């Protein structure tokens, strides 16, 4: 035994090692930079790149990376979220690599990724990936509170700025190419008394172009809060009306409305027949009242929770001025007022001698279309503001209606103070007042947006809360964001905003209250439609 102890002491003396714990060397720490992928965890993927890292070793001698410590905050779906992997992608002066440094066993608040990697002088590239089984519970989420690189004999290094984004699942309700559709666009979404989610959208069969084309209105139902969806059903298809082919009878741009008093679901859409497809309907529709002359305001309804739908109901003659070039619904959704009045947002294009921004002799006005007799007869308001389109409407606590409008002036003015136009009416659109926040509170890149209201309990009291969604950018349709107002639209504090997706897409969205504790959103990617759920507590708890 004594001889063994002597041999061990000789070994440590000759190799310069000690029986004591490794000492931390006083050498410059490597620099770590990070780049977050602001992208949801898509349901059709089982591998998600969430953060890229660069580790810069400025010393002549190599360093050894031995483990990565990661602390998370959130609600984890441990069955759907399988593991984290740290991938080594190579040296800036070497050959690109894709080797696994290490991975976790499962997902938890505190995670350790162990490995052993020699890092020479220069910049080394890494990717943090999440493995999933593709079926993650939609209300689960996580953010990276801290991530630390630990090296041999060197102080740990913290990765910067990772808690700025919350990673959450995203279900693709419709995917490009599905059911022989090239593109799905223009989402509308409501929740019925039974808790059923009803989504409507354009089925654009041939391409992504607007009308006139072969376009029908598709519908999907979910009876489990959006976790799964029934097969798509076409609910509005004008077929070969007038002996003309499908691509000359397109119907699109749906808006959906739920009457909770009669449990009737209404969908409004735009149809025109016989238009040359070389000229889009927006430009070719003219004065008149017939389908061959001008766009038609078409309704369908369901009285059985979306299972079956009525034949088309044409109300153009009730609400359109024959001198207008076009009248159509504001895509997204309508509302039912406290007194039972049904209200769709709408827009009309009229040649009234005012030059539009593109030089045309017309101007567009957002307005409302409404029924006070449960949908038997319909009326229309006056224009709220010129050069506005694609509005959404909510009722405020004083009974007035707030119209939130896409302002086409933003096509030429990209300043951050020229966002959504806001007007208010107290007499069903006969007269309008400019809201104090008009064109100043809500940034937009000239795009459709969504606005809903909900009566919720906040900080121990009941109050009306507004939720708004759009691409939160003043020039491109990226950064899909939900914003919350606790003062009925007078302010939209940044602390009550959640970014869902940093990617650029087509950008239209529609919100609904899935239940009193959950907000749901259906929005456009590029040819796909995405669905996500966010808890009310998360939106307003800050």
Nearest to 385 by CA among 369, 411, 403, 362: 403
Label the pairing between strands 388-395 and 497-501. unpaired
- Three-state SS letters, 180-205: HCCEEEEEEEEECCCCCEEEEEEEEC
Burial of 391 from C-beta contacts in 10 A (0-12 / 13-18 / 19+): buried
Q: What angle do CA 347, 214, 245 make, to 5 degrees?
A: 115
From 67, 85, 213, 390, the catalytic residue:
390
Nearest to 370 by CA among 309, 295, 299, 433: 299
295 vs 280: CA distance, rounded Å: 11
87 vs 127: CA distance, rounded Å: 5
Query: What per-residue string of b and e applies to 227-262 under the rule 16 or more CB within 10 Å gives b?
Result: bebeebeebbbbeebeebebbbbbbbbbbbbbbeee
370 vs 342: CA distance, rounded Å: 5
DSSP assignments along 479-533, one per residue: -EEEEEESSTTS---GGGEEEEE-S-----EEEEEEETTEEEEEEE-SS-EEEEE
Instruction: Please check whether residue 307 is in contact with residue 299, taking contact to mean a CB–CB distance below 8 angstroms.
Output: no
531 vs 470: CA distance, rounded Å: 14
Structural tokens at position 367: 């307005």
Concerning whether 26 is annotated as a catalytic residue, the answer is no
Report residue 521 CA to chain centroid gap: 6
Give catalytic residues, as residue numbers.
390
């Amino acid at each position: 035994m004594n001889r063994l102890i002597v041999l061990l002491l000789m070994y440590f003396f000759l190799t310069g090692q000690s029986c004591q714990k490794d000492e931390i060397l006083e050498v410059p720490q490597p620099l770590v930079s990070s780049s977050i992928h602001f992208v949801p965890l898509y349901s059709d993927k089982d591998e998600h790149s969430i953060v890229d890292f660069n580790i810069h070793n400025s010393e002549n001698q190599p360093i050894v990376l031995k483990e990565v410590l990661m602390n998370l905050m959130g609600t984890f779906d441990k069955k759907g979220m399988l593991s984290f992997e740290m991938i080594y992608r190579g040296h800036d002066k070497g050959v690109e690599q894709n080797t696994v440094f290490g991975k976790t066993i499962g997902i938890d608040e505190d995670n350790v990724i162990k490995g052993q990697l020699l890092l020479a002088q220069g910049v080394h590239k890494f990717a943090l990936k999440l493995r999933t089984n593709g079926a993650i519970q939609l209300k689960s989420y996580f953010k990276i509170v801290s991530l630390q690189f630990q090296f041999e004999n060197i102080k740990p290094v913290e990765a910067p700025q990772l808690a700025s984004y919350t990673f959450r699942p995203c279900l693709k309700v419709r995917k490009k190419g599905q059911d022989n559709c090239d593109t799905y666009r223009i989402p509308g979404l409501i929740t019925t008394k039974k808790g059923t989610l009803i989504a409507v959208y354009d089925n654009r069969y041939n391409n992504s172009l607007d009308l006139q084309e072969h376009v029908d209105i598709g519908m999907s139902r979910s009876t489990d809060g959006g976790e799964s969806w029934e097969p798509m059903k076409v609910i509005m298809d004008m077929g070969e009306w007038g002996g003309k082919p499908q691509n000359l009878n397109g119907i699109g741009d749906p808006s959906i409305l739920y009457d909770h008093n009669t449990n009737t679901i209404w969908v409004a859409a735009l149809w025109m027949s016989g238009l040359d497809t070389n000229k889009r309907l927006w430009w070719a529709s003219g004065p008149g009242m017939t389908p061959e002359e001008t766009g038609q305001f078409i309704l369908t309804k369901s009285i059985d929770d979306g299972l079956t739908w009525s034949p088309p109901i044409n109300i153009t003659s009730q609400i359109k001025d024959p001198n207008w070039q076009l009248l159509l619904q504001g895509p997204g959704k309508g509302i039912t007022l406290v007194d039972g009045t049904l209200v769709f947002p709408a827009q009309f294009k009229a040649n009234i001698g005012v030059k539009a921004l593109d030089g045309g002799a017309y101007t567009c006005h957002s307005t409302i279309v409404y029924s006070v007799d449960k949908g038997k007869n319909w009326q229309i308001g006056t224009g709220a503001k010129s050069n506005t389109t694609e509005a959404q409407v909510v009722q405020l606590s004083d009974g007035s209606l707030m119209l939130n409008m896409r302002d086409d002036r933003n096509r030429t003015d990209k300043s951050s103070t020229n966002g959504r136009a806001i007007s208010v009416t107290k007499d069903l659109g006969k007269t309008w007042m400019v809201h104090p926040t008009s064109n100043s509170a809500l940034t937009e890149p000239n795009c459709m947006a969504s606005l809903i209201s909900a009566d919720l309990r906040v900080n121990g009291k009941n109050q009306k809360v507004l939720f708004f969604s759009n691409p939160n950018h003043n020039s491109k349709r990226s950064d899909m964001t939900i914003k919350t107002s606790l003062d009925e639209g007078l302010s939209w504090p940044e602390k009550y905003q959640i970014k869902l997706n940093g990617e650029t897409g087509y950008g239209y969205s529609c919100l609904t209250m899935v239940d009193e504790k959950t907000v749901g959103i259906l929005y456009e990617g590029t040819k796909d439609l995405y669905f996500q759920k966010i808890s009310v507590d998360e939106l307003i708890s800050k």
